[in-house]
Chains A and B, each alone.
Chain A
Amino acid sequence: MLNPLRSEQEAFRFLIYVAIAVAVIVGVVLLLRAVL
Chain B
Amino acid sequence: MEAAAHAVHDEHHGPPAANVSSRVEAQFLGMLLFIISEIMLFGAFFTAYFFIRVVGEADWPARGEELPVAIAGVNTAILLSSSFTMHWALEGARNENRRALTMGLLTTALLGLTFLTIQVNEYVHLGFSPQDNAQGTIFYGLTGLHGAHVFIGLSLLTFATVRAFRGHFTAKEHRGVEVPGIYWHFVDVMWIFVYSTLYLL
List residues of A whose CB falls within 8 A of some B CB: 4-9, 11-12, 14-15, 18-19, 22, 25-26, 29-30
Contacts and interface: CB of A to CB of B under 8 A. Distances in A.
Given A14-B185, A29-B201, A8 B196 contact: no
Contacts of A4: 182, 185-186, 189
Interface of B: 28, 31-32, 35-36, 80, 83, 86-87, 90, 177-178, 181-182, 185-186, 188-189, 192-193, 196, 200-201
Contact of A5 (B87, B177, B182, B192): B182
A18 B189 contact: yes
Q: 5 closest pairs, A vs B, by CB?
A: A8-B181, A11-B185, A5-B32, A11-B182, A12-B87
Given A5-B182, A9-B90, A29-B201, A22 B192 contact: yes
Nearest to A16: B83
Contacts of A12: 83, 86-87, 181, 185
A31 to B, nearest CB: 12
A8 B201 contact: no
Given A7-B182, A29-B201, A30-B200, A15 B188 contact: yes
26 contacts: A4-B182, A4-B186, A5-B31, A5-B35, A5-B36, A5-B182, A7-B178, A7-B182, A8-B87, A8-B90, A8-B177, A8-B181, A8-B185, A11-B185, A12-B83, A12-B86, A12-B185, A14-B185, A14-B189, A15-B83, A15-B185, A15-B192, A18-B189, A26-B200, A29-B201, A30-B200
Contacts of A29: 201
Nearest to A5: B32
Contacts of A18: 189, 192
Nearest to B80: A19
A15 to B, nearest CB: 5
A22 to B, nearest CB: 5
Nearest to A21: B192
Given A4-B186, A11-B181, A11-B186, A26 B201 contact: yes
A15 B192 CA distance: 9
A19 B182 contact: no
B48 to A, nearest CB: 20
A9 B93 CA distance: 12
